[in-house]
């Protein structure tokens, strides 16, 4: 019986803390990162470029794009702009 706590929830670590305590710790980390210059906030131009690159990478997978299109068609009920033929 080396591990008696095997079936019990662990009360160790960040995930076991209540949300308020997690927020407090995360906030301290955020402040420290900004003060030390290690935090990076994207400008709107940087965010736009990152989104463009991500979109290009995803769109290379034709099967994935086809799945997205099919899902959109199902969600809209297959109705194109409310006009039925």
Domain ranges of the chain: 44-75
Answer whether residue 58 shows pLDDT above 90. no
pTM of the predicted protein model:
0.37
Answer whether residue 5 shows pLDDT above 70. no
DSSP string, 33-73: HHHHT------HHHHHHHHHHHHHHHHT-HHHHHHHHHHHH
Percentage of the residues of the chain whose pLDDT score is greater than 70 = 81
CA separation for the pair 65, 55 (Å, rounded): 11
| Alpha-carbon distances, residue 52 vs 40, 59, 64 (angstroms) | 19, 10, 17
30-46 pLDDT per residue, tens: 899 888 888 888 899 99
Answer whether residue 57 shows pLDDT above 70. yes
Least confident of 4-8, 12-16, 60-64: 4-8
Mean pLDDT for the stretch of residues 62-82 = 83
């Amino acid at each position: 019986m080396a591990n008696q706590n095997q079936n019990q929830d662990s009360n160790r670590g960040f995930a076991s803390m209540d949300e308020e305590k997690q927020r407090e710790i995360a906030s301290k980390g955020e402040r420290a990162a900004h003060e030390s210059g290690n935090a990076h906030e994207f400008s709107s131009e940087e965010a736009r470029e990152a989104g463009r690159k991500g979109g290009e990478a995803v769109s290379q997978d034709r099967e994935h794009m086809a799945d997205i299109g099919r899902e959109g068609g199902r969600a809209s009920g297959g109705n194109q702009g409310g006009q039925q033929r």
